[in-house]
């Protein structure tokens, strides 16, 4: 099992930088930020600080040496795909081949309105994402790109320097939807399942495998990842207290990533057996002194 870490659990740049350097030191394969332009905290009138995602990753590239740099996930609506391909190529060069291109179709309508973007129907947003995938791959690999699709037209587009990674940085689609899963299995290098529990993963993996088979894709060359939070507790007494506090049913907690180190090790082994190759996690604060370090020492 490979592990990435979601570092936007803190919001200001010095803390994000420190957390990124810490998880790199602890051996995480990648770090991830979301791609939001507005916060979510209603009590603060959604004014919590949100640094622009690609600029943030570029700054973190300079502060790190080996950790891969990605999102969960880039909103495909926010940037012209030809321009995003340029941005990712730039990030890959600055980081010496550590950029990831993890994409989603967008959903946060208030954000679109606040920044003056139209908010198309779900079908239109997915259609745009599908066309964008063709554009990304062409731009990353062709010297000169001419393209005319339903949404974008490129005339003699040149993108230099090319990404360091060949043929291009890993392309992953973040989704739990059927149509986007189909697109991911046809066009991408992997899929990221958002906030799933063990039972949801158990139900989803066969659908992914079916779609890969449909497109004659090799499962061993397609990365299935999970984005979730981890809560480490010291013992069963703390686990039961947390379950009661959060009003989690006893039968449901067995499927969540809330447990002692021993219990979590068993749950992670289960999802790996189901076919998950990587987990992108954030570790919540608990009574443990340093739960991230405990996780890296006992579970990685």
Q: Provide, rounded to the nearest whole percent, the portion of the chain with pLDDT above 90.
A: 82
Q: How far apart are CA 124 and CA 14, in angstroms?
A: 38
Each residue's pLDDT tens digit, 79-119: 999 999 999 999 999 999 999 999 999 999 999 999 999 99
Query: Is residue 232 within a helix (H) or strand (E), and if so which, with residue range?
Result: strand 223-232
| pLDDT tens string 30-45 | 999 999 999 888 887 8
289 or 143, higher pLDDT: 143
**pLDDT tens readout for residues 214-234:** 999 999 999 999 999 999 998
Residues facing 258 on adjacent strands: 231
In the chain, domain spans: 2-232+260-299
The pLDDT assigned to 113 comes to: 96
Closest to 208 measured CA to CA, from 186, 237, 228:
186
Model confidence at 250, in pLDDT bands (50, 70, 90)? low
pTM across the whole model: 0.94
Q: How confident is the model at residue 255 (pLDDT cuts 50, 70, 90)?
A: confident
pLDDT surpassing 90 at residue 197: no
2-232+260-299 maps to which CATH number?
Answer: 3.20.20.30
pLDDT at residue 163 is higher than 70: yes
Q: Rounded to an integer, what distance in angstroms lies between the CA atom of residue 143 and that of residue 140?
A: 8
| Cβ(299)–Cβ(259) below 8 Å | no
- Residue 176 pLDDT > 90, yes or no? yes
Tell me the per-residue pLDDT of 55-89, one tens digit each, with 9 for 90 and over: 999 999 999 999 999 999 999 999 999 999 999 99
Q: What is the mean pLDDT of the chain?
A: 94
């Amino acid at each position: 099992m490979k592990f990435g870490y979601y570092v936007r659990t803190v919001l200001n740049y010095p803390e994000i930088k420190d957390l990124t350097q810490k998880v790199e030191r602890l051996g995480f394969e990648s770090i991830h930020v979301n791609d939001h332009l507005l916060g979510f905290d209603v009590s603060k009138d959604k004014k919590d600080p949100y640094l622009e995602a690609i600029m943030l990753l570029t700054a973190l590239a300079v502060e790190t040496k080996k950790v891969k740099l990605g999102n969960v996930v880039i909103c495909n609506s926010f940037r012209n795909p030809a321009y995003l391909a340029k941005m990712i190529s730039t990030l890959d060069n600055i980081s010496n081949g550590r950029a990831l291109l993890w994409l989603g179709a967008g959903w946060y309508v208030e954000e679109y309105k606040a920044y003056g973007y139209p908010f198309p129907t779900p079908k239109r947003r997915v259609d745009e994402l599908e066309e964008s995938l063709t554009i990304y791959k062409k731009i990353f690999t062709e010297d000169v790109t001419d393209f005319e699709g339903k949404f974008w037209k490129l005339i003699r587009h040149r993108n230099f320097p090319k990404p360091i990674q060949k043929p291009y940085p890993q392309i992953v689609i973040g989704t739990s939807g059927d149509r986007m899963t189909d697109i991911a299995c046809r066009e991408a290098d992997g899929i990221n399942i958002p906030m799933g529990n063990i039972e949801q993963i158990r139900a989803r993996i066969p659908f992914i495998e079916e779609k890969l088979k449909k497109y004659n894709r090799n499962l061993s060359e397609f990365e299935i990842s999970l984005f979730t939070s981890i809560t480490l507790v010291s013992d069963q007494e703390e686990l039961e207290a947390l379950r009661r506090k959060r009003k989690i049913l006893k039968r449901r907690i067995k499927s969540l990533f809330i447990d002692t180190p021993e219990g979590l090790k068993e749950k992670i082994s289960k999802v790996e057996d189901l076919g998950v190759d990587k987990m992108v996690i954030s570790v919540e604060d608990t009574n443990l002194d340093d739960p991230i370090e405990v996780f890296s020492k006992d579970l990685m």
